[in-house]
């Protein structure tokens, strides 16, 4: 075990027994949703993972320790702290450890901690990607490089169209990251099921996703996989409505000169404000939906690993 990593006892026991575990990120708690829905959602997502047969491991940095599996009080601390909590990606981890500080982990940092803990499946809302205008700003989320190098499967509802979805797919292709459509032939665009970008690889059964993960890692390819799970139709929002809010949020960001790691939280908060409760309700539902699929994939992955050991 890594000397800087602590496992919640429930997570440690599940991993030791080869039972399924699902990693969950914490930037979505501190920077992705407003209080108190962020706390309610974080706890509901953990419950959803449990009810579908896996153990949740919400990941963060607490007092300079990498933590896989949080107490309710720790989740509440991250939720109440909101934007005052440090947002931690790959580059930030050493500094937080050195300062014995607390921070919320992005998809990239959550993947790193999950891999150190031996957790292979991770559920979130949306991943970071290539920002619109990246040819001038160079703003490409570190999540994409992490997917290229760290062996964790990320179940998400695609990405918000605050990003350039076409360039994000190109980047992932260049870096050898499979993007699997779960029961879809199209990259989902977070709040809506369709983006207009076709995916070449579709899998309809969680057990087959687990087999693909085994194939990738048995081949020694390393790296992550994006499992793109469209929002359930009853919770999807019309694209025109979301697109208008996103355009306004992007214009505000530009006007206010928002840069660097502040860009994504700014856009998420602005889109939430502009669409009122509707987008937040959809956001919560799609995370729950991803938690269910991740639990099923983790369960199949654990079964497959057991059979391989016994054979």
Contacting ligand PSU (CB under 6 A), which of 21, 22, 24, 28? 28
Please indicate whether residue 160 is annotated as part of the active site. yes
Measure the CA–CA gap between 106 and 124, rounded to whole angstroms: 10
Of the residues 25, 48, 76, 146, only one is catalytic, namely: 25
Q: Please report whether residue 92 would count as binding ligand PSU according to CB under 6 A.
A: no
Binding window for ligand PSU (CB under 6 A); candidates: 25-33, 94-102, 170-178, 203-211:
25-33
Is residue 298 within 8 A of residue 121, CB to CB? The reply is yes
Please indicate whether residue 25 is annotated as part of the active site. yes
Residue 297: how many other CB atoms lie within 10 Å: 31
Measure the CA–CA gap between 135 and 261, rounded to whole angstroms: 17
H helix intervals, 9-71: 9-17, 27, 37-51
How large is the C-alpha radius of gyration of the chain? 18
Q: Please report whether residue 106 would count as binding ligand PSU according to CB under 6 A.
A: yes
Q: Please report whether residue 146 would count as binding Mn ion according to CB under 5 A.
A: no
Q: Which residues contact 8 (CB under 8 A, 6 or more apart)?
A: 57, 67, 68, 69, 70, 71
Site for ligand PSU in 192-251 (CB under 6 A): none
Strands 103-105 and 55-62: antiparallel
Contacting ligand PSU (CB under 6 A), which of 24, 25, 92, 302? 25
Contacting Mn ion (CB under 5 A), which of 25, 46, 48, 139? 139
Q: Please report whether residue 143 would count as binding ligand PSU according to CB under 6 A.
A: yes
Q: Catalytic amino acids?
A: 25, 160
Q: Which residues of this chain interact with ligand PSU, rule CB under 6 A?
A: 25, 27-28, 32, 89, 106-107, 125-126, 128, 141-143, 160, 190, 261, 264, 268
Q: Which residues of this chain interact with Mn ion, rule CB under 5 A?
A: 139
């Amino acid at each position: 075990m890594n000397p800087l990593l602590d496992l919640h006892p429930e997570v440690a026991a599940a991993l030791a027994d080869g039972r399924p575990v699902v990693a969950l990120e914490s930037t979505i708690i501190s920077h992705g949703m407003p209080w108190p829905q962020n706390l309610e959602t974080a706890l509901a997502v953990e419950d959803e993972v449990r009810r579908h047969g896996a153990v949740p491991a919400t990941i963060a940095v607490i007092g300079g320790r990498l933590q896989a599996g949080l107490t309710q009080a720790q989740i509440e601390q991250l939720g109440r702290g909101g934007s005052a909590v440090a947002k931690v990606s790959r580059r930030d981890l050493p500094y937080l450890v050195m300062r014995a500080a607390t921070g919320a982990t992005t998809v990239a940092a959550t993947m790193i901690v999950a891999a150190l803990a031996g957790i292979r499946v991770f559920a979130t809302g949306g991943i970071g990607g290539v920002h619109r205008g990246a040819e001038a700003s160079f703003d490409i989320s570190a999540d994409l490089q992490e997917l290229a190098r760290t062996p964790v499967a990320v179940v998400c509802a695609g990405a918000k169209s605050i990003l350039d979805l076409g360039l994000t797919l190109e980047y992932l292709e260049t870096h050898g990251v499979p993007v699997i459509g779960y029961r879809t032939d199209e990259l989902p665009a977070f709040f809506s099921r369709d983006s207009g970008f076709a995916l070449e690889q579709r899998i309809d059964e969680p057990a087959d996703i687990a087999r693909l993960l085994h194939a990738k890692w048995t081949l020694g390819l390393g790296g992550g996989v994006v499992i793109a799970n469209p929002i359930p139709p009853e919770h999807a929002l019309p694209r025109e409505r979301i697109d208008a809010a996103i355009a306004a949020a992007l214009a505000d960001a530009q006007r206010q000169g928002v840069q660097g790691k502040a860009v994504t939280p700014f856009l998420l908060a602005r889109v939430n404000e502009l669409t009122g409760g509707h987008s937040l309700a959809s956001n919560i539902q799609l995370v729950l939906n991803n938690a269910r699929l991740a639990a099923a994939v983790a369960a199949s992955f654990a079964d497959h690993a057991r059979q391989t050991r016994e054979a």
